[in-house]
Amino acid sequence: MGRFQAGDSTAMEELFARFQKPLFNFFYRMVGKRETAEDLVQETFVKLCRFGSSFRGSDAKFSTWLYSVAGNQCRDYLRHSSRRPEVLLDTIEDSESDSQEDTGPSTPDSPVEEEILRKETGRIIRDAIESLPNKEKEALVLREYNGLDYKEIADVLNCPIGSVKVLIFRARQRLRGKLKDFEGIA
Amino acid sequence: MKCGKAKILISAQMDEEISVKDSLALEEHLHSCPECADFKVEMASMSRTLALWADEEPSPYLAQRFAYKLQEMDEPSAPKRSFVSGWTFRTVAKIAAVVALVGLFVLSEKGPVNVVVDNGTSVTETATAPVDNTSDTVTVDPIETQPAAEVQPPVTEQQPKPAAPRRPHRRPAPSVEPSKPIEMAAANISETENSVMAEIDNAANTEVSTDVTVAMNLRESASNINDTLEIVRGNLQLAVDNLSSRSSQPDGK
């Protein structure tokens, strides 16, 4: 980030390469749509280019700052999308592809069956997380999948650490009920 | 320790976000509370289940799209500001429209005109007879004529900053023969001005999350205005040259 602020134009592309996947997965888990997640990743980095000069800190704090920007983007999107209910196309695509795969013969422990099981597991977990309130969802996703600690999550959500602790606990408690009947492979 | 607090601490302990003191107190509680002990086992199992939702790969074209976006942002013609203030575009659009109208008057057949054109190198002609513009359908805002060649977004301290966006006067396109270049340029400017005003109003009413898209539209409109200004500038230069050549002839026409 220091190189970018010093005028090194390639630094932004390197930052993008480093953070595009975790940011994409954060957005994808929050909004549920690949294309929207990719758009949000791009918008986040565009904001970074425009306002990156205002960042003052080390590399460790940069990721927190980046997730703060991403979190704001995500909340803006969810706020607007809640006014216009949209069908999760990924859900439709998954169900269509599952129905196509069901027609073929399946053997136990075959790679195909493993792939189906993996997708089905992801779908169940995704549906369960999708049902969480936005703030709890965001705290849980940042902790479980993006590996942020409570202090960083508190900075991203702009709330006390104690609130983060409670948000994550509540999210897990809700998920416990939804995933209880899932005969998972855990 | 009550079970409610213990369960929150169990969740925090999974993330290693618990103090040593709380950890000891929690362990003591778990020895005497089978419900919380079961809760801890369930939480650990659920955490393993959540980890089964693996990361997805973004599209391989995402990086390429961003690289193109970076190039677009680095272009010198692109405005550096993230949001262009509405009054700047309004002022530029008005100046462009006035320049086009001045050019229109210069090439009109109605008789001598009042022209003040400064191409940066020489001062121009002036006449005395008033302009007969009865056949023109274009109306002019009460604004000072600006130099044609050097049209830049001025910073005018007198320009009021409206609390609410005010609707500008929309001039109709001049109803003249479209074959005449100045008239065509004036019509283009009027049309471009209208589209810019629409974009500015759209931007004023648009939420923050779409300002990137609106900024792109504004940028495109600015580019259109620049192109039209170049056409008008060329035509005005032609008009000045014509006037100079007329005045140099012994009879004059």
Q: How far apart are CA B183 and CA B185, in angstroms?
A: 5
Q: How far apart are CA B146 and CA B156, in angstroms?
A: 13
Q: How far apart are CA A33 and CA A132, in angstroms?
A: 16
Q: Which residues of A touch B82 (CB under 8 A)?
A: 50-51
The closest of A97, A124, A134 to A182, measured between CA atoms, is A124
pLDDT of A4 strictly over 70: no
Q: Which residues of A touch B36 (CB under 8 A)?
A: none
Comparison of pLDDT for A109 and B22, the residue scoring more: B22
Comparison of pLDDT for B207 and B65, the residue scoring more: B65
B58 touches chain A (CB under 8 A): yes
Contact A172 B66 (CB under 8 A): no
Q: Which residues of A touch B4 (CB under 8 A)?
A: none
User: What's residue A129's pLDDT?
Assistant: 93
Q: Which residue among A76, A173, A176 sits closest to B209, beta carbon to beta carbon?
A: A76
Q: Which residue among B49, B63, B66 sits closest to A186, beta carbon to beta carbon?
A: B49
User: What's residue B173's pLDDT?
Assistant: 45
Q: Which residues of B touch A16 (CB under 8 A)?
A: 63, 66
Per cent of chain B over pLDDT 70 is: 40
User: Chain A neighbours among B 200-229 (CB < 8 Å)?
Assistant: 207-209, 212
B155 touches chain A (CB under 8 A): no
Q: How far apart are CA B3 and CA B36, in angstroms?
A: 7
Mutate to test the interface with A, among B50, B75, B207, B212 (most CBs of A within 10 A): B50
Give this complex's ipTM: 0.79
What mean pLDDT is predicted for residues B50-56? 88
In the block, tokens 């416990």 appear at A176
| Residue B169's pLDDT band (cuts 50, 70, 90) | very low
Select the highest-mean-pLDDT range: A4-8, A88-92, A96-100, B43-47. B43-47
| Residue A137's pLDDT band (cuts 50, 70, 90) | very high
